[in-house]
Structure 1
């Protein structure tokens, strides 16, 4: 073997490669250990809504961010685990989404999207503008959504927007919206009136209510808003006046549908 120049050249190349790899490995270990390349800056940017417009922090506090940095960010610019940092930010109660990137030579850029509360979900949670349920403690004047399960919050949020758009000419809006387990819709307006929409042709029924309200429904009671309007009739409505809550509602039209 020692007389085989090709074998000796090959062996020397292998040894040199191994030595070079060992040196590089040792250098890399030094590079990823503090105090080299310490993280000196963490820049937090806030975006708002689906358009990703820039905004200011509304609910996440600087104290929460500083505490997270102290507790969750380990290592230096090279060794820091960006996935773990992102997950730590997402755990903050008001954070919907977070993205974390390195900023050479010693910084991290953090982009946060906060939840924007659209409504309460029952009595124990909130719904954001994406129709997602999240849990924080808040004292705000918001409409109330209810549904058969949290997965239905997205559909309820969509219908809430559609229904409010239909009601806009009357200057009325929804205070509570309910989707039952049988997928029937019920609205309570800011006036206190309850609208029973049922399961079928729900938007068409609400459009009919709006179209006849000023020259028909509103004239039935000039003192107070109606207590209840059942829109599930094909050719009319069933109404209940405030002082008649315990009595059989007056009806107009034909057989009720659902």
Structure 2
């Protein structure tokens, strides 16, 4: 009987000890979690930005990150920081990585502006649009129907390369609803290229350009929508335009 009592006492003592150990583990886990989540104990002290950028406001970005992630190094959510960065207009791509014990490394790939689209958006080299934030940039103006951004940019790039051989630059390109092309050069000359064979027509303009420059009057526009020949508008001294076909 005494032996049974002793065994029961030993059993209950073991159970109590186990409960005490488990309680200590839970308590220690809660304290550790609280410590690691406390910004005062484990703050993100350094946010290091790298990459090549001209228009990205790094100070503003750091402020956004710290306001959106006010917790400790361990509480900081890398995925949320990544999504925040890629939502910024001037950021094309970003990568985010924690570095023990208190550093956040961010690599930024900035948008490359190549043209203004429909007066208020910017095109990058891939034909994607983004909205700038208070930045004034000298860019060629491209206009066209919604969804034609890539087509307009591809046409611009091809025509820009062709005109560059004559040291001429495109100031404005327009693509109509029917996909007819019109250009205005930085010299002020307007070119009507139509819908078809617009590269061949632009080459025709380049071929006759030296002859046009030999004239005493300034060229206002050249209509190239003809199988042969062109229509030329001349600007007289008063600024008015007269037409001539050749």
TM over 0.5, yes or no? yes
Whether 1:141 and 2:138 are equivalent positions in the alignment is: yes
- For residues 115-137 of structure 1, give each alpha carbon's deviation from its aligned partner in whole angstroms, at most 9, with x where no partner exists: 22222223222223332222222
Residue pair 2:47, 2:62 contacting (<8 A) in 1 also: no
Q: CA deviation at 1:71?
A: 0.9
2:100 to 94, 97, 104: 104
Whether 1:218 and 2:223 are equivalent positions in the alignment is: no
Q: How far apart, CA to CA, are the structure 2 residues paired with 1:24 and 1:213?
A: 84
Aligned-partner SS, 1:196 = strand
Describe how 1:131-210 pairs up with structure 2 within 5 A: 131-136=127-132, 137-149=134-146, 151-210=147-206
Residue pair 1:228, 1:241 contacting (<8 A) in 2 also: yes
Q: CA deviation at 1:186?
A: 0.5
Whether 1:238 and 2:234 are equivalent positions in the alignment is: no
- How many aligned positions are there? 223
Residue pair 2:190, 2:222 contacting (<8 A) in 1 also: yes
Describe how 1:75-86 pairs up with structure 2 within 5 A: 75-86=71-82
Q: How far apart, CA to CA, are the structure 1 residues paired with 2:199 and 2:41?
A: 63
Aligned-partner SS, 1:232 = coil
TM-align CA RMSD = 2.9
Residue pair 1:31, 1:78 contacting (<8 A) in 2 also: no
Q: What is the TM-score of this pair, normalised by structure 1? A: 0.75
Aligned-partner SS, 1:233 = coil
Task: Name which one, 1 or 2, has greater alpha-carbon Rg.
Answer: 2
Instruction: Point out 4+ residue stretches in structure 1 off by more than 4 angstroms.
Output: 19-28, 244-247
Identify the residue that residue 47 of structure 2 maps to in structure 1: 42
2:56 to 60, 68, 72: 60
Residue pair 1:32, 1:75 contacting (<8 A) in 2 also: no
Query: Which 5+ residue runs of structure 1 have no aligned equivalent?
Result: 1-14, 47-54, 253-258
Identify the residue that residue 245 of structure 2 maps to in structure 1: 251
